Amino acid sequence: MKLIHTADWQIGMTFHGLREYSREAMSKARLEVIDAIADYANDVKNEIDFVLVSGDIFQTPRISESLVKNTFKKIARIQKPVYFLAGNHEWQGTEFMFATKYFVDNKPANLHILNSGINNVEGLKDVEIVGVPLEGKEETTDLVKTQLDLLEPTKGIRILAGHGAIDKVVYTGDRKDLIALAPIEEALATGKIHYAAFGDRHSTTNVGSSGAVWYSGAPEPTDYDEDPDGQRNVLVVEINPGEKATVEKVEVGKWEFICLGKPKEQYEIRSEQDLSDLEARIDGVKRPSQTLVKIYLDSVLDVEADLRRESLFDEWENDTLAGFAKSDSSLGARREVNPLTEKVPTGLSGYALSAYQDLKVRAMKDDEESEIALAALKLLTEFAGGNK
């Protein structure tokens, strides 16, 4: 028996801050990736029996009826049963996506909503999905453990479908809605379940040591904090009686989010070579028009090099990439001054001031050590906060 495990489609997600073309293209891609899933599921050689979507199919219950209809047209192309689990984004207060009139009236025949507890899989004997749908935007208990406690070992095949944060992945103290990994691993070991299919984490992630607890990740990425190796995937899971589940990542998406640097480890540019290295990296992007780049920039260059940097950044933002942005947490771009012609930095005193004066004298000489002294003088000036 084989299934496709996917989640976090986030249909209707908006991408503020991007130019209009990129926003429209990304929204369109969230629908088109369903076609890619359909193509894989419908290919006879892949032997797929059904598709399981572990929550957050839609961004909110308040998306348009036309978008829901377009989504259902894509799902209807899948020639296999498709099972939806309610995630937190299916809720908005007491409003529930799966109960809206336009959802119920337009739902295709191959689409099934998972109830809490055991659900039989259409057309497959002794194959069950244990649904753990969320009952609101936020939970106050571990619903997964509650369901697992009700189960007995089975001789058939049973898949757990859940949505939320597992405690060994999200370290957030005493959150009441955290899902405990230990009961899941115990249920796997005792034959209560054979695979745990989770949604909520948008990067493909193998949880624990069993090899049978997975977040599928979003089939099209949604943010820069997602693992570069965990973007654009669905999981193809094969489970046979008496055997461990095997899991294969299959790339179906096209978009990519790239983050250069971090708030505490900014992307440093200090020379023409550093700038050329960054240019080569952007030139190496496979699908520029479907790639978004965010940079935590810490740049110190002379006037000429900084003008080149500005030109490259404008080109990437406006022409080459779907989006290129400098993070608001960036240290930013500063132009290098010539410490030989500037005043002594006000932040220097004592030994540091003496070292500065000595380096300045050495840097002004015409010998082999002058360039080394000048480089050291620039570093010391930058460390002192520049010539303010």
CATH of domain 2-254: 3.60.21.10
Confidence of residue 105 (pLDDT cuts 50, 70, 90): very high
Tens digits of per-residue pLDDT, 106-125? 999 999 999 999 999 999 99
pLDDT on residue 385: 65
Q: What is the mean pLDDT of residues 49-55?
A: 98
Confidence (pLDDT) at 117: 97
How far is the C-alpha of 201 from the C-alpha of 217, rounded, in Å? 6
User: H-helix or E-strand containing 283?
Assistant: helix 272-283
Domain with CATH 3.60.21.10 in the chain: 2-254
Q: Region 293-311: what's the mean pLDDT?
A: 95
DSSP 174-224: T-TTPBPHHHHHHHHHTTS-SEEEEES-SS-EE-SSSS-EEE---SS---T
Number of alpha carbons in the 13 Å side-chain half-sphere of residue 201? 22
Per-residue pLDDT tens for 332-342? Answer: 999 877 777 77
Residues 79 and 42: their CA atoms lie apart, in Å, by 6
Q: Which residue has the tokens 């030139």?
A: 283
Question: Which tens digits make up the pLDDT trace of 365-377?
Answer: 878 788 888 878 8
Average pLDDT over residues 330-357: 82
Cα separation of 269 and 295, whole Å?
A: 11
